[in-house]
Structures are given as C-alpha cells and as structure tokens.
Structure 1
Amino acid sequence: MNENMYLSLDFPTWEQASSFIDAHDMQGVPVKVGMELFYREGPRVIEQLKENNHAIFLDLKLHDIPTTVKKAMANIAKLEVDMVNVHALGGSEMMQRAKEGLQSNSHSNHETKLIAVTMLTSMDDVVMGKELRLPGNVHDNVLHFADFANQNGADGVVCSVHEAKAIKQVCGTSFLTVTPGIRLDDSDVNDQKRVATPAFARENNADILVLGRTVTKASDPGRAYRQVKEEWGYGVKS
C-alpha cells in the first residue's frame, strides 16, 4: 500500500460519487468508502472503484461480538480493499478475530490492513468524560487504545493529527496513523473537534490523510485537492 491521501466519497449513491469523480478529474485517486455509500450500493461499489484503479479504504467501523466481526471480515477480505477498520472499544478478542477473518480469505499477493478507531475526531474531553465516562483526557485515551490495538493485531489506527507523533513513539514508526479532520485554512471545521492542516499533519508524522468536506464541499474541489497534496507533500502552503 503506497497511497497516502484518501478522498472521502461521502455521497448517498454511486451515481453521485461517480459524477463527482468525473467532474473534478479525480479518476484513480485513493478513496474512502463509508457506511452511507456502502450500505446503499453494497460490494458492487467496491468492484466499480477497483475497475477504475482506485485504492480503497473501507470505513465501516465494525463493532460487534468477536465471531460476527470475524465472519464479516472474512467476506470483506474477498473485496481486496487496502484498509478496513474496527472500533478499538470492541476489545482485544474482537480485534484478534477481525485479523483472523481478514487473513482467512486473503490472497498471497494482497493484504488488507486492519485499522482500529481510537476516539472519534468529533469527540473532545467533555464528551469523553461526561458521556462516555472514561477517565483521563482524549490524548491519553487515544494513546491507550492505539497501544491496545497494536498489541492485538491492528496495523494502525484512525486518530487525529494531534496524536500521530505520540502514537509513533508508543507503537513504533511502522504502525500506521490514519488521520481525518484535515482542513485547509479557509475551510469550515464543521462537526470535527480535533482538526489540522496538511502541513501540520506532515510535521506531526501522520502517515495517511483522509480528506472530506475540505475538498468535497470546496467551491473548486479539484483545486482544493491539489492544494492539500501540495501542502502535504512539501509542507508548504500553495
């Protein structure tokens, strides 16, 4: 897996997602397929994207009993996507069974990376403490869940850019940090709490950027995508 910028196809139908790709000359760019699109279109949307040479992060955030997750991952393995994720809150056995499910149907020339979600980037200390009743702060909990996921077979975690460097220190440089919440300076924050610019992501050792509304809701999505790529690749603002 050599891709490091995944465009979120947060559209309700394949027709709309495909039209967006074509309208903004994004054929072949790595993409993230989330619940909204996958639950509407099913595995066929993955097949269509692969036919058009898109690398794929399947963002389903599985969180269920270990046996169910293992069986689901065995089916997902057949799709041969680049990454798929689970919630680290699902526990050690669930993550281990998820890895087993992926490996049970993987081909020798393809490995789907297992990524664990630590704390959603829409959460902050207030939500975590008052609603989830987790002790400590978001940063400490993210590091805990990253280390926990690393010990139980995950290849990396979804986290905010702000935690990426510390996760590398805890889990090692090869452990992947997949970072949503990327915003250009002139983009709206929306419902994300822990956001960062592409330049800051580069400085803070993020491995993979997930690009959502900063591109898809931009007045010129193609230009916004190129701007992120430039800032991420060279650490400078264009």
Structure 2
Amino acid sequence: MNRKLIAAIDTPDLARARDLIAQVAPHCGLVKLGLEFFLHHGPMGYRRAAEGVPVFLDLKLHDIPNTVAGGVRALLDLAPKLLTIHAQGGARMVAAAAEAAAQLGPERPKILAVTVLTSLGAPDLAEMGVTGEVSAQVLRLARVALENGADGLVCSAHEIAALRAEFGARRLLVVPGIRPTGTALGDQTRVMTPEEAVAAGADYIVVGRPITGAPDPGRAAAEIAASVA
C-alpha cells in the first residue's frame, strides 16, 4: 500500500464502485468518492461501497456559510477522512465548515479547500472576470482558506512549489490531474506524472481513469503506487 495514492472511483454504478475499491484499496491510502456517485446512492451507497476503507469524499461544498456548515455536520456520521469545499465560498464559509467538522473531535474529517479546478486555465478564468495567472488566483484562494481553518488544499501539481514556498510544509496538499506517462489527458489541462507531483511536494496524488479505465485496475494502482514509493 502507498499512502500517497488516492484512487478516484468516479462511477455512478454501485456494483462497479465496490468491485473497483476491492481491487485498488490494497495499493492506496484512500479511495475517492465524488459528487456523481454520492448523488446516485447517498449515504447508504457510500457505506456499502466504503466498508471500512478510508475515503476522500469529494463533494466540493459551496453555498452560504450556514448551509455548508449544515452539510458538513450531515456528513460526519460517514466519517470520511478528507472532505472538500470550494475556497471561492469565502472566509466565512470556510470557517463555518471547519467549525462544523471540529464537532467530531480528533476523528473529524480534514477540510480541504479547492482552489482552481485542474480543468481550468487562464482563458477560462478570464471569461469569469479573473485576470492574471492561474497561480496568482490559487495563492489568493489558498490564503483565504488556510487563514480560516482549512486543513489543506486541493491544487494542481503546477502550484505545489508556490504553495509550499508561501505556506510551508505543514499544509496538506492533495493533487488531482495526475497522469502517468503515456496516458490520455482527458479534460485535465494542468497535469503532472505521479513521480513529478510527489517530488514537487504533494502529500497525496489523485489518479482516476488511468486506474479505473485500465484492463486490470488493481495492477494499474499497484504500478503507480510503486512508482512513488
């Protein structure tokens, strides 16, 4: 098992999710369940899929502070290890999420703030009225999140060095958009290989389709885990 590897189980099919988790869990620190799966199956499906496996629950909560706090409290019984919110929700929303998670005490989920989605580049941000480099927006959102109780960040591998320089080594960095050499980029635009991302300072790398789309997902997970051991 490699604790740095998170396998993204991005499927709405419960049976498929359970099968994939059984294959990849021995090689991963966590598995990721996301919005598509959770909307299809809810807490009951989550419990059936996870069954004792540590989970990164990637819902990217984003609403007014009171609603996000209520959402976090509603998820505490599921005991995910990591839970995402959007940093763009602002300081009060991030603080509300962190305070809600703290109610569970030491076993609480760690709150991760999503900065800029790895599918977005500078032209996409410009369309939304955000000028300048992607990295500048990442740093702005990261500062808001970390100063208001977030445990860490979800970021592109290309922002790891800047975030480490700005905020130090203690902040948890979870990095999606990871593509082993020779695999398709899909809808990701800011990517790195597993080896590059870990060398740059990622605490966790998130790998989806290169694992779940492989003929043998367990073997694919094992090979990626070995590459960053």
Q: Give the TM-score taking structure 2 as reference length.
A: 0.93
Which residue type is aligned with residue 115 of structure 2? T
Which residue type is aligned with residue 91 of structure 1? G
Could you tell me how far apart the structure 2 residues matched to 1:78 and 1:141 are?
34
1:124 alignment counterpart: 121
Instruction: Count residues in correspondence.
Output: 227
Q: 1:133 aligns with which of 129, 133, 137?
A: 129
CA separation of 1:26/1:56 partners in 2, compared to 1, >3 Å: closer, same or farther? closer
Could you tell me how far apart the structure 1 residues matched to 2:194 and 2:27 are?
21
Q: 2:6 aligned with 1:34, yes or no?
A: no
Q: State the percentage of identical aligned residues.
A: 37
Kept after mapping to 1: 8 A contact 2:25/2:31: no
Q: 2:111 aligned with 1:114, yes or no?
A: yes
- Following superposition, the deviation at residue 207 of structure 1 comes to 0.6
Could you tell me how far apart the structure 1 residues matched to 2:176 and 2:166 are?
20
- Following superposition, the deviation at residue 50 of structure 1 comes to 4.3
CA separation of 1:98/1:35 partners in 2, compared to 1, >3 Å: closer, same or farther? same
Which residue type is aligned with residue 124 of structure 1? G
CA separation of 1:49/1:220 partners in 2, compared to 1, >3 Å: closer, same or farther? closer
Larger RCO (CA under 8 A, 6+ residues apart): 2
Could you tell me how far apart the structure 2 residues matched to 1:142 and 1:204 are?
16
1:63 alignment counterpart: 62
- Following superposition, the deviation at residue 139 of structure 1 comes to 1.0
Alignment of 1:1-238 (within 5 A): 3-22=3-22, 24=23, 26=25, 29=28, 30-51=30-51, 53-104=52-103, 106=104, 108-129=105-126, 131-233=127-229
- Following superposition, the deviation at residue 19 of structure 1 comes to 2.4
Could you tell me how far apart the structure 2 residues matched to 1:12 and 1:50 are?
14
- Following superposition, the deviation at residue 49 of structure 1 comes to 4.0
Shift >6 Å, 4+ stretches: none
What SS does the corresponding residue of 1:154 show, helix, strand or coil? coil
Which residue type is aligned with residue 137 of structure 2? N
- Following superposition, the deviation at residue 123 of structure 1 comes to 0.4
CA separation of 1:211/1:223 partners in 2, compared to 1, >3 Å: closer, same or farther? same
Kept after mapping to 2: 8 A contact 1:143/1:167: yes
Could you tell me how far apart the structure 2 residues matched to 1:68 and 1:44 are?
22
Q: Deviations over 1:107-130 (max 9, x none)?
A: x4412100000000000111111x
CA separation of 1:71/1:7 partners in 2, compared to 1, >3 Å: closer, same or farther? same
Kept after mapping to 2: 8 A contact 1:77/1:103: no
Kept after mapping to 2: 8 A contact 1:58/1:84: yes
What SS does the corresponding residue of 1:78 show, helix, strand or coil? helix
Could you tell me how far apart the structure 2 residues matched to 1:171 and 1:25 are?
32
Which residue type is aligned with residue 125 of structure 2? M
Could you tell me how far apart the structure 2 residues matched to 1:211 and 1:15 are?
20
- Following superposition, the deviation at residue 155 of structure 1 comes to 0.5
| Structure 1: gaps of 5 or more residues | 234-238
Could you tell me how far apart the structure 2 residues matched to 1:63 and 1:25 are?
30
Q: Give the TM-score taking structure 1 as reference length.
A: 0.90
1:236 alignment counterpart: none
Could you tell me how far apart the structure 2 residues matched to 1:168 and 1:144 are?
14
Could you tell me how far apart the structure 2 residues matched to 1:25 and 1:74 are?
29
What SS does the corresponding residue of 2:174 show, helix, strand or coil? strand
| Structure 2: gaps of 5 or more residues | none
Which residue type is aligned with residue 128 of structure 1? L
